[in-house]
């Protein structure tokens, strides 16, 4: 690989939206801000902290621009730095939505904001409190001296008097940027693993985004935040290890958890790709490898189970020895059967031994390293299902902060399957080896 050494800079107004906890309304307010400034003719680039698939879909529709995930553990500091720099070259405003609480995780939202000098706006659901909201905001703002807090956004603020009590409780150094009412017509719809997919409710979201933009109008936050200087990063070019390869990617309502960064990495490796639908298509495109990403197969298990023609095509593809990568929902689709939340069992492709079943609220989530024979790939898990009666895994994920073995990783023939969602740019050579079919046919557990 060849290193790019010249460092360049670009400046752009930027704001990082963080909160004391999940459920404060970060995504709703980030989407409303993105739509407001978009309606003002601004180019708004939005980033989402952490390994999230659903929020970026929502935020991309609100902003009209692609949304990138930023995670210094999963992607690396240099990668995040470069993406922010590239956005600053073209955008009038950069918004970054945090994850969980402001200081939760390693690295946390505060770590990311501090590393790239992005001022924070604290988003707080103030229902049921008044002056206490000011006390919490002051505590968050002063907890660390390496972060800059621009002010407070009071969500679910009941009345003007409610807003005035909060405003009076804040010091001059921590202004009240916005007071937003309790409004179910603006809040974003949810389901059992988070927000719904944008494509499912596109028209409804448009109505909510525009209502959210009206929310924002008249608040102090309609002024662009301060400009931040972003630097380019020293990154390695990627060798075209997949030149001439064409990869078929499952993409429909059942399979949609696809990082744009992964698609760009495939192109950088020299590969072409195309999409197909396990729900609706009867045959596969002419491809050299398959990627079955995550999604919600449990919500479409009956239709997936009924489409036997595409299942047979996928089985024949696998039996021919061509490589298949299956992640989370794609992993469930690779098993023999899947039992949905209504305890109905449906046939899946049977590329590997075993069965899958949903299990309500219990599940697994967290950052892990996929310890593949081809090399370590950063990844994460987020599922509420279980797989059983499988063959022995070849490896296990390594958890970020816990010594217990992570998700099992399976390899049956040319299939590599796991609950883990892989972040391809973290190890391009390993990803190229998997999709080229040059991976190791390892037996037994290696990690």
> Which residues are annotated as catalytic?
328
* Distance between CA atoms of residues 5 and 234, nearest Å: 5
Q: Look-up: residue for tokens 């930027």?
A: 14
* Distance between CA atoms of residues 401 and 415, nearest Å: 28
3-state secondary structure of 113: helix
3-state secondary structure of 214: helix
Q: List the strands of the sheet with 395-399, edge to edge.
A: 272-276, 246-250, 289-292, 324-327, 415-418, 405-412, 395-399, 364-372, 375-383, 421-422
* Distance between CA atoms of residues 150 and 177, nearest Å: 8
Strands (E), 141-193: 149-155, 176-179, 190-191
> Any residues with CB less than 8 A from the CB of 342 and at least 6 apart, and which?
none
> Any residues with CB less than 8 A from the CB of 360 and at least 6 apart, and which?
341, 384
If we measure between CA atoms, which residue out of 230, 242, 298 comes closest to residue 89? 230
Cis peptide before 107 (omega within 30 of 0): yes
Query: How distant, in Å, are the alpha carbons of 60, 309, 366, 370 from that of 421?
Result: 20, 27, 11, 9
User: How far does CA 345 lie from the centroid of its chain?
Assistant: 29
Sign of the alpha-carbon torsion through 418, 419, 420, 424: positive
* Distance between CA atoms of residues 101 and 115, nearest Å: 17
* Distance between CA atoms of residues 88 and 92, nearest Å: 8
């Amino acid at each position: 690989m060849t290193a790019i050494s010249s460092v360049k800079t670009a400046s752009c107004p930027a704001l990082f939206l963080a909160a004391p906890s999940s459920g404060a309304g970060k995504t709703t307010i980030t989407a409303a801000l993105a739509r407001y400034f978009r309606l003002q003719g601004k180019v708004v680039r939005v980033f989402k902290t952490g390994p999230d698939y659903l929020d970026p879909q929502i935020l991309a529709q609100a902003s009209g621009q692609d949304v990138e995930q930023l995670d210094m553990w999963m992607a690396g500091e240099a990668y995040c730095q470069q993406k922010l720099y590239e956005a600053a070259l073209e955008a009038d405003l950069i918004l970054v939505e945090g994850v969980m609480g402001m200081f939760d995780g390693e690295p946390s939202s505060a770590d990311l904001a501090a590393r790239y000098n992005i001022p924070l706006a604290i988003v707080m659901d103030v229902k049921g409190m008044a002056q206490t909201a000011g006390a919490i905001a002051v505590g968050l703002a002063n907890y660390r001296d390496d972060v800059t807090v621009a002010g407070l956004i009071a969500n679910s603020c009941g009345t003007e008097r409610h807003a005035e009590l909060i405003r009076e409780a804040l010091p001059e150094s921590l202004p009240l940027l916005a007071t937003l009412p309790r409004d179910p017509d603006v809040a974003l719809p949810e389901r059992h693993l988070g927000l719904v997919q944008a494509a499912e409710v596109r028209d409804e979201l448009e109505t909510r985004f525009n209502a959210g933009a009206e929310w924002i109008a008249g608040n102090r936050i309609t002024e662009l935040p301060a400009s931040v200087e972003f630097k380019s990063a020293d990154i390695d070019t990627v060798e075209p290890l997949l030149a001439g390869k064409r990869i078929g990617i499952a993409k429909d309502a059942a399979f949609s958890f696809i990082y744009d960064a992964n698609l760009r990495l495939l192109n950088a490796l020299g590969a072409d790709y195309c999409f197909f639908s396990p729900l609706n298509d009867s045959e596969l495109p002419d491809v050299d490898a398959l990627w079955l990403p995550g999604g919600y197969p449990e919500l479409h298990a009956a239709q997936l189970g009924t489409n036997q023609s595409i299942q047979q095509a996928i089985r024949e593809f696998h039996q021919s020895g061509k490589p298949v990568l299956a992640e989370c929902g794609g992993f469930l689709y690779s098993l023999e059967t899947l039992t949905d939340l209504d305890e109905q069992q449906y046939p899946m492709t049977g590329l590997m031994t075993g069965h899958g079943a949903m299990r309500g609220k219990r599940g697994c989530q967290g950052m892990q390293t996929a310890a593949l024979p081809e090399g370590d790939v950063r990844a994460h898990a987020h599922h509420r299902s279980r797989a059983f009666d499988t063959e022995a895994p070849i490896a296990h994920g390594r958890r970020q902060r816990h010594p217990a073995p992570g998700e099992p990783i399976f390899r049956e023939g040319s299939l590599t399957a796991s609950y883990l969602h892989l972040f391809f740019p973290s190890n391009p050579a390993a990803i190229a080896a998997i999709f080229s079919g040059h991976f190791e046919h390892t037996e037994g557990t290696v990690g």
